[in-house]
Structure 1
Amino acid sequence: MTPEQFRADFPEFSDTTKYPNTLIQMWLTVATSLVNPVRWMELTNLGLALVTAHHLVLAQRDGATADVGGTPGEVKGPTSSKSVDKVSVSYDTGAVALSDAGFWNMTSYGIRFLNFARMIGAGGLQL
């Protein structure tokens, strides 16, 4: 998979300033270590793209935090409630989070990747 193919499949990452090709390529390279094409078969590119998207979102989050003087890389879980003055909202984060997913629960791309990985990794493999 190339950065161009990744952008075609995930157009939300089309901004080359926020998501330069070098950054996409770096995460695609990492993804090749996590997605076994023997198991993923025709879904290999999907697995590569989901891992890459997950890491790009986290990188963008860290960059946005640094831009406002925060500490990039600080670990935060999903927001479950928020209030401003007398208005508040809360979300059932457990409804969409996967159990024992840890780091992968930090983005919707990570949740999708791990969901597929668990299905694809189940069962035997004929060699």
Structure 2
Amino acid sequence: MTPAQFRQDFPEFDDTARYPDASVSFWLTVSASLVNECRWGVLTDQGIELCTAHHLVLAARDEQAASVGGIPGQVTGPLASKAVDKVSASYDTGAATIDDGGFWNLTTYGVRYLTLAKMMGAGGIQL
């Protein structure tokens, strides 16, 4: 897996200023160690890419926080509600997260990764 292949499959990460090749390569390497090819089979590359995308989004959040004087790495969960003046909105975060998904629930890529990871090596279903 190369940064070029990753960017082809996930064009939303084409911005090399925001997502430099060095960062993409770093997270591809980390992700390759987290995705067991024997279990993932033909979906190994997809698992590596989803894991990489998850980590890149978290890293971008940290960079953005640091650029405005915030604290990078500060943990925040999914936003459940927001109010501005007399207008408020609330979201059912449980509908888009996985129970016991931990930090994988912090991005849609993490949720997709964990959804697939839970299926890998599960075997067939007997009725």
Which category of TM-score, normalised to the shorter sequence, fits these structures? over 0.9
1:54 counterpart letter in structure 2? H
CA distance in 2 between partners of 1:64 and 1:90 (Å):
25
Q: What secondary structure does 2:82 align onto? A: strand
- Greater than 2 Å deviation, 4+ residue runs: none
Q: Look up the match of 1:55.
A: 55
Between the two proteins, what is the percent identity of the paired residues? 62
Deviation (angstroms), 1:123: 3.5
Partner of 1:43: 43
Q: C-alpha displacement at 1:122, in angstroms?
A: 1.7
Report the TM-score when normalising by structure 1: 0.95
For residues 76-115 of structure 1, the aligned pairs below 5 Å read 76-115=76-115
Task: State the 1:41 CA deviation.
Answer: 1.0
When the two chains are superposed, the root-mean-square deviation of aligned CA atoms in Å is 1.0
Deviation at 1:16, TM superposition (A): 0.3
Amino acid at match of 1:107: T
Q: Deviations over 1:55-97 (max 9, x none)?
A: 0000000111111111000000000001111111110000111
Give the Å deviation of 1:33.
1.0
SS for the counterpart of 1:89 is strand
2:42 partner letter: E
> How many angstroms does 1:121 deviate by?
3.3
Gaps of 5+ in 2: none
TM-score of the pair, normalised by structure 2: 0.95
* Structure 1 unaligned residues grouped into runs of 5+: none
Structure 1 residue 32 corresponds to structure 2 residue 32? yes
How many residue pairs match? The answer is 124
CA distance in 2, matches of 1:31, 1:41: 15
Query: CA-to-partner distance for each residue in 1:23-67, whole Å, 9 max, x for gaps?
Result: 000000000111011111110110000000000000000111111
